[in-house]
RNA sequence: GGGCUGUUAGCUCAGCGGUAGAGCAGCGGACUUUUAAUCCGUUGGCCGGGGGUUCAAAUCCCCCACGGCCCA
């Protein structure tokens, strides 16, 4: 095989390779880079949406666009084509007696999928469509492979995820989703900036994977001969920054959890964590309401929207309910039974939870909560008063040392955010880590490890602080009405497959 | 990890024991205002891979690979 030769026994490719040979023979550069389009499709369309034929005829201005040739309707010596750029599509009219002979020769060798440049005046067709009358046309990049079918687009989900470029070309709604994802993250940054938060970046490779309860990915640094973990959360580093006096910090970036994959979990996912000194978890509830309302207002122009056929109403204030009240009201537990471990275990087993006899009471209660209550929390709900046993980094409640000043936000039956007043008492933090170590020894490989370095930092005094983590992918799912997390992550993790057939 | 389900032409799909099909795309022809343009003609397949059953397998059975949905 000669280098640069494309080896595939496919008639469609052969035809295109023949066209390429003909273009080369005519001295056409197949991949030039000297062209600068002056306009975008949407800019032209919005600027001239109300201009009629006469108005356009008065215009002497020429417009130029570049993009992917998406459709071609040929009429002998003329044609209508659709060109798609990042903003949308516009039609162009090609006629043999308007283009130069050289440009018309190139046009006759084009295929749907090629990247081209067109310039010319605007006019309206008989059917009143705004159209560029091509006086110049250039090939900018020749496609060798055919695009998916124009009408149905690309629907095979596996191909859509593995070849996202095709998905983005063929399915406008997909492009719209990722534009919106970017917009949402931008709105969050603006909101945080308005509230005087500092955006920071903390290590993704950590010697101990702390800040959450999850199984980490392990890796190794060769020169330092040191095992490292991909972070499961940025929490402990962000709190060091609060101790360092930054007081209001946030980070929007990837965390990694070595766990299963489903419609709500991808092994790498994006989270925003933020910490605010001199605030409590209660302050963060209203802060969260404001943030989400701000996003909803910008995206939808209101606080009500539909997610998977169900109306979500983000009008503050949102429902607030304690874990225990939720278990009583929504799982049907007896108030008296909540403190009797034997009865709680019995209830847990009855509901199908996989619990161990020696698990702490709080952990079993949360297992029941996850099994029974979670899916019922459709409208935005803050669940509060978590057991200390499942909250090793949260401050104990002043009213009850067995619960912590913490909430989780549920929307559409899914955890979207987790927040608490931070534990800044180094002695208590040490006790909590030691409790976690006992659970690790009892077989819980997700339990937290001792982090002396973090405790050492707390010993320099961290101000009273509240912090929160928000699952950005899940938030984007809500605001884009996406059923699967894979629809809001450009390249979701899939099992490796033999490379695409060459 | 378990259950259900999918993998057939470049794409979207039908066929479900008896000679592999359609639409779109492609190719050839007609056509200078189309909107999934139209009309005529036409090329294209290791039916995901491997084993079986059968006179005969895309179709039935088993294993494997890669997805999807639901559950753990």
pLDDT tens readout for residues A49-65: 999 999 999 999 999 99
Alpha-carbon separation of residue A486 from A107, A295, A413 (angstroms): 38, 21, 18
pLDDT of residue A1: 33
Using the C1' atom of nucleotide B38, identify the protein residue whose alpha carbon is closest: A75
Nucleotides on chain B within 7 angstroms of protein Cβ:
1, 6, 10-13, 23-27, 30-38, 43-44, 65-72
Smallest CA-to-CA distance from A138 within A69, A238, A54 is with A69
pLDDT of residue A184: 98
CA angle A129, A131, A132 (to 5 degrees): 175
User: Distance between CA atoms of A430 and A452, rounded to whole angstroms?
Assistant: 8
In terms of pLDDT, which residue wins out, A445 or A217?
Answer: A217
Percent of chain A with pLDDT over 90: 89
- The pair of structure tokens assigned to A43 is 């800019």
User: Distance between CA atoms of A190 and A489, rounded to whole angstroms?
Assistant: 22
- List Cβ neighbours of A339 (8 Å cut-off, separation of 6 or more): A361
Percent of chain A with pLDDT over 70: 97
Q: Quick check: A499 pLDDT over 70?
A: no
In terms of pLDDT, which residue wins out, A465 or A260?
Answer: A465
Q: Quick check: A182 pLDDT over 70?
A: yes
Q: Quick check: A7 pLDDT over 60?
A: no
Lowest mean pLDDT among A170-184, A304-318, A358-372: A358-372
CA of A152 to C1' of B15 (A): 21
Average pLDDT estimate for A455-470: 97
CB A126 within 8 A of CB A7: no
Average pLDDT estimate for A489-502: 74
CB A480 within 8 A of CB A180: yes
Nucleotide nearest to A80 (CA to C1'): B34
Using the C1' atom of nucleotide B36, identify the protein residue whose alpha carbon is closest: A151
User: Distance between CA atoms of A327 and A346, rounded to whole angstroms?
Assistant: 14
Q: Quick check: A202 pLDDT over 80?
A: yes
Helix, strand or coil for residue A192?
A: helix
User: Distance between CA atoms of A356 and A86, rounded to whole angstroms?
Assistant: 54
For A409-444, write each residue's pLDDT tens digit: 999 999 999 999 999 999 999 999 999 999 888 888
CB A216 within 8 A of CB A452: no
Residue A113 CB lies within 7 Å of the nucleic strand B: no
Residue A494 CB lies within 7 Å of the nucleic strand B: yes
Model confidence at A282, pLDDT cuts 50, 70, 90, reads very high
Smallest CA-to-CA distance from A142 within A168, A162, A117, A115 is with A115
Q: Quick check: A498 pLDDT over 80?
A: no
Helix, strand or coil for residue A345?
A: helix
Average pLDDT estimate for A269-281: 98
For A341-399, write each residue's pLDDT tens digit: 999 999 998 888 888 888 889 999 999 999 999 999 999 999 999 999 999 999 999 99
pTM for the predicted model, two decimal places: 0.94
Q: Quick check: A143 pLDDT over 50?
A: yes
Using the C1' atom of nucleotide B25, identify the protein residue whose alpha carbon is closest: A149
Residue A53 CB lies within 7 Å of the nucleic strand B: no
CA of A44 to C1' of B33 (A): 20
Helix, strand or coil for residue A365?
A: helix
Q: Quick check: A501 pLDDT over 70?
A: no
Residue A101 CB lies within 7 Å of the nucleic strand B: no
The continuous run of DSSP H or E covering A84 comes out as strand A78-84
Q: Quick check: A3 pLDDT over 80?
A: no
Q: Quick check: A6 pLDDT over 70?
A: no
What mean pLDDT value characterizes chain A? 94
Helix, strand or coil for residue A189?
A: helix
Average pLDDT estimate for A154-164: 95
Alpha-carbon separation of residue A364 from A339, A344, A357, A437 (angstroms): 11, 7, 9, 18
Task: Please report how the helices A281-300 and A472-480 are oriented relative to each other, as an axis angle in degrees rounded to 10.
Answer: 40
């Amino acid at each position: 095989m000669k280098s640069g030769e494309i080896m595939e026994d496919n008639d469609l490719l052969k035809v295109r390779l023949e066209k390429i040979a003909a273009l080369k023979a005519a001295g056409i550069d197949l991949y030039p880079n000297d062209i600068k389009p002056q306009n975008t499709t949407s800019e032209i369309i919005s600027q001239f949406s109300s201009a009629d034929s006469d108005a356009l005829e008065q215009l002497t201005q020429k417009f130029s666009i570049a993009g992917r040739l998406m459709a071609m309707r040929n009429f002998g010596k003329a044609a209508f084509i659709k060109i798609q750029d990042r903003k949308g599509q516009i039609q162009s009219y090609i006629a043999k007696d308007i283009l130069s002979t050289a440009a018309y020769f190139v046009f006759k060798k084009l295929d749907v999928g090629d990247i081209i440049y067109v310039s010319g005046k605007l006019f309206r067709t008989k059917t009143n469509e705004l159209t560029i009358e091509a006086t110049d046309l250039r090939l900018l990049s020749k496609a060798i492979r055919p695009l998916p079918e124009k009408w149905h687009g690309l629907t095979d989900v596996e191909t859509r995820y593995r070849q996202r470029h095709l998905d983005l070309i063929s399915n406008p709604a997909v492009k719209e989703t990722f534009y919106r994802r970017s917009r949402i993250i931008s709105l969050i940054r603006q909101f945080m900036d308005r509230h005087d938060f500092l955006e920071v970046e903390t290590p993704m490779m950590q010697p101990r994977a702390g800040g959450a309860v999850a199984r980490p990915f392990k890796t190794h640094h060769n020169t330092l001969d040191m095992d490292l973990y991909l972070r499961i959360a940025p929490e402990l580093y962000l709190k060091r920054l609060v101790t360092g006096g930054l007081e209001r910090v946030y980070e929007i970036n990837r965390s990694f959890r070595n766990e299963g994959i489903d419609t709500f979990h991808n092994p790498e996912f994006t989270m925003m964590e933020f910490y605010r000194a001199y605030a409590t978890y209660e302050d963060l509830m209203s802060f969260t309401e404001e943030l989400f309302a701000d996003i909803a207002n910008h995206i939808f122009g209101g606080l009500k929207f539909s997610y998977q056929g169900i109306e979500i109403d983000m009008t503050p204030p949102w429902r607030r309910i304690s874990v225990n009240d939720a278990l009583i009201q929504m799982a049907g537990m007896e108030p008296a039974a909540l403190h009797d471990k034997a009865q709680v275990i019995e209830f847990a087993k009855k509901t199908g939870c996989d619990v161990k006899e020696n698990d702490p009471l709080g952990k079993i209660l949360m297992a029941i909560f996850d099994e029974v209550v979670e899916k019922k929390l459709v409208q935005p709900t803050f669940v509060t008063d978590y057991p200390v046993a499942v909250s090793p980094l949260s401050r104990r409640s002043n009213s009850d040392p067995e619960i912590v000043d913490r909430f989780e936000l549920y929307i559409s039956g899914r955890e979207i955010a987790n927040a608490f007043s931070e534990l800044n008492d180094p002695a208590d933090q040490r006790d909590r880590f030691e409790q976690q170590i006992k659970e690790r020894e009892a077989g819980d490989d997700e339990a937290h490890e001792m982090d002396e370095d973090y405790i050492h930092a707390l010993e320099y005094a961290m101000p009273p602080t509240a912090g929160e983590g928000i699952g950005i992918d899940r938030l984007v799912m809500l605001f884009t009405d996406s059923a699967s997390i894979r629809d809001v992550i450009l390249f979701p993790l899939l099992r490796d497959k033999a490379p695409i057939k060459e």
